[in-house]
Every structure is written in structure tokens, then in C-alpha cells.
Amino acid sequence: MIEGKTTYFEKPGKENTEAVLKMVKKYAETKGIKDIVVASTTGETGVEASKILKGFNVVVVTHHFGFRQPGTQELLEENRKEILENGAKIFTATHALSGVERAVRKTFDTMMPLELIAHTLRLFGEGTKVCVEVVIMAVDAGLIPEGTEVIAMAGTGHGTDTALVIKSASASRFFDLEVREVIAKPRTKEE
């Protein structure tokens, strides 16, 4: 039997970011986990993670170009520079749990398997879905190893409010992925 501590935030949101980062650092140091993946849109959370988690293999996963507006990138250039200066890596690509299927849904008003998986993961909160997604993306890019325990952090809208220990897997071996522990997550899905 393994006993551990899970923190549940009353509400999701950016105000939980500092606490999550501190918990992740302590957990990673205690358990010897070296690979940490963090979702970050503008790079604000990525900057904080890259500062607090120096010395770890920190991979910041961003939205792909054109996610909100065609031809634009939401990651701010000053944040990109600081993340890289702090020794973290940045990965920008199509989301593992949407991609072209999102275009099919929008065009034909139908749901495809990847989006069904994404919506099912959202039953545990937006951060849970994103944590799973960014781990897949980082493995597919070769930035973290496959089949090892990593920590993933993501949030609900802005900041980070969810941290999971995940046995990593690539997209082609999605069902080998395991959510092994919950370090922190919100109790509710609404901000």
C-alpha cells in the first residue's frame, strides 16, 4: 500500500499556480522524478516553472500557431526568451487530443474519437485533460522519455491548478499512458 498526499483547491484558477509549483518541486525532489511538463499559453506559467524547477528537465508546451487567430502565436517573445535562459525547453505543436478532428467537428458538427477522449478526461477537470495531452506531445517530440514517471502541470484557463504523476506514452501507444497519482487538482471545474 502506498499513501500519499493530494491537495484539492476549492476553485480552479491562476491563484493556485505558486502552490502547485512548490508542491511539484518538493514531490520531484522526494521521488527523484527528473522530467516535468507544463502547459503554458502566453509563457507566464512557463517562466515561473522554469525558475522554480531549475535543474529538472522542464518542457513547456504551448498552443500551436494559429490556435486562436490564424498566423499568430500566443507565447510572448519575452517569456520565450526567459524560459530558454532558465534552461527549460519549449515545444509548440498541434494538440494531441484535437488536431484535425477539431476542424471536422467545427465543419460537420460531429464528434470524433479524440475529442470524445478529451471530453471524458475533462470529467476530472480541464487541467487533467491538458496534463495527459502535453505528456503525449512531449514524448512524441522526444523531449521526455516514454514509459517513465513524469510530472505534468496544467490549469483551467490561466496558470496551473493541476499536477499529476503520469507514466508517459506516445500518441501511438496512448493506452499505455497511466495517471498514477494526483498531486493537486481543483475540486470543481468552474472558476
**pLDDT-derived band of residue 10, with 50, 70 and 90 as boundaries?**
very high
pLDDT digits (tens, 9 = 90+) for 121-153: 999 999 999 999 999 999 999 999 999 999 999
186 neighbors 161 (Cβ within 8 angstroms):
yes
pLDDT attached to residue 96: 86
Burial class (CB in 10 A: 0-12, 13-18, 19+), 141: middle
Strands (E) in 127-177, as ranges, are 149-154, 162-167
**C-alpha cell at position 134:** 502535453
pTM of the predicted protein model: 0.93
Nearest to 152 by CA among 130, 174, 119: 130
End-to-end CA distance of the chain: 34
Domain 7-63+73-186 top-level CATH class: alpha beta
